[in-house]
Amino acid sequence: MIQTPLLLPSNQTKANTEDNKRLILPFTLDNRSLLEDYITSITEIRENAHLLLSQPVQIIDLQSIASSSYSATKIVYVLQGEVAHVSTQGLLLSDQSTTCHILAIHSTSYRIHSSVTDDEHSTAKVIGSLCHLDAPHIYKSCIDKIIQTHFDSHRTKGDDYTPLKISFTFHLMGGYLDPQGLSKDISNDILGTLIEMTIHWDKMIQSHSHNLSIQWKLATCAITSLNTISIMNNTSPSQKVLSPRGRGLALDVSSGKVFLVKMSSDSLYCDSIVPMYILRHTRLWFQKQSHPLTLIHTIDDDDLLNISPFQFFPSSRTAFLLSLEKDPPQLLKYTSTSPECEETEYCDHVIQTLRFIHEVSSSSVFGIQQGRVKGLQYQWMSGAWKRIMKGIVVRRF
């Protein structure tokens, strides 16, 4: 049996989060294949997942951005295989997940001054991170780096003598009961990683940081078995298949709230809202199997979005897939882990990406400066992302 540092979601009748139950495992992490089944059976987890998944999906399109509160909100859209960090305020979001999982991490901190009451402590810093995870067993170090990034930002240098309290909240959504069982593998791996990381960090802080207290909370766990519904089959319309209920998740960094979201195609292809969507989607086709997450937005440069350079080129495989433009069922079969339940826009996104690969060269996109490859950089200005010309010099191909 393992008593983890993770608090379960709040019971609606309890006002004090310190009274929340801790997650206790009746088995060791050597049996992490049991994690998804066990954790999704917990009442508080099930209730909170239902609360999220029963919400209407908020559609973000050009009209809603122009006419609503989104018009003044910095939107950082995270694609599959990417990660972004935002401090203070902004909207982090990702969608189009089937077997993939979206992990949002929110943290707040404040210094505990003896001269004020608990109610008078002001939050010193708020940080949000979001990543889109597409496979098991490759993201442990990436998740550890996210937690490290939050710690480094909260622990202000020069003030190590005033007690500091940091509260972490995890929101995990994605996967469904797919025929291959890939979703469950990803769920088990992420849950195991979060539990290992929180145990590790908790022990380290207790041993070495007497002026630091920390709280961990698994607020949302809407995964695999809890995220499954039945829909009509894309490839065989007369049949019903299992499908994910929630495919997109947004984190409001200032409030810490999460909600279901979908980015419309007109927004995805609008460079001022989602910079270089097709280029960033292209990266997925050329990543190594054990690739780390691609960092697109940092706390240090909170108004800059970076697209690091990578090499892409047409091949016989991409040419073959492009030839399937008029045959969506076959295109789905060869490109998707869940062809039976992809969204209607999926094939269009794939074809647009394949055309880009065949019509554009990586050297023309990124360019060369003093023998090194230049990445692309966008700055958040006047409610939109605008490309700035200096770029970032990163590495050679």
| pTM for the structure as a whole | 0.92
User: Is a pLDDT exceeding 70 seen at residue 309?
Assistant: yes
Enumerate long-range contacts of 287-291, CB under 8 Å, 24 or more apart: 287/81, 289/135, 289/138, 290/138, 291/81, 291/138
Return the pLDDT at 150. 95
Assigned token pair, 247: 């495919």
Return the pLDDT at 287. 87
User: Is a pLDDT exceeding 80 seen at residue 136?
Assistant: yes
Does an H or E element contain 279, and which?
Answer: helix 277-283
237 phi and psi angles, rounded to 5 deg:
-60, -20
Task: Mark 22-35 as b/e (b = at least 16 C-beta within 10 Å).
Answer: ebebeeebeebeeb
Average pLDDT of the residues in 44-55:
97
Average pLDDT of the residues in 85-92:
93
Return the pLDDT at 238. 72
Integer Cα distance of 140 and 143 in angstroms = 5
Assigned token pair, 70: 């989104």
The answer to whether residues 221 and 40 touch, using CB atoms and an 8 Å cutoff, is: yes
pLDDT cut 90: percent of the chain above it? 73
Other C-beta atoms closer than 10 Å to the C-beta of 117 total: 7
Return the pLDDT at 114. 58
pLDDT in tens, 167-210: 999 999 999 999 999 999 999 999 999 999 999 999 988 887 67
Q: Where are the domains of the chain?
A: 2-302
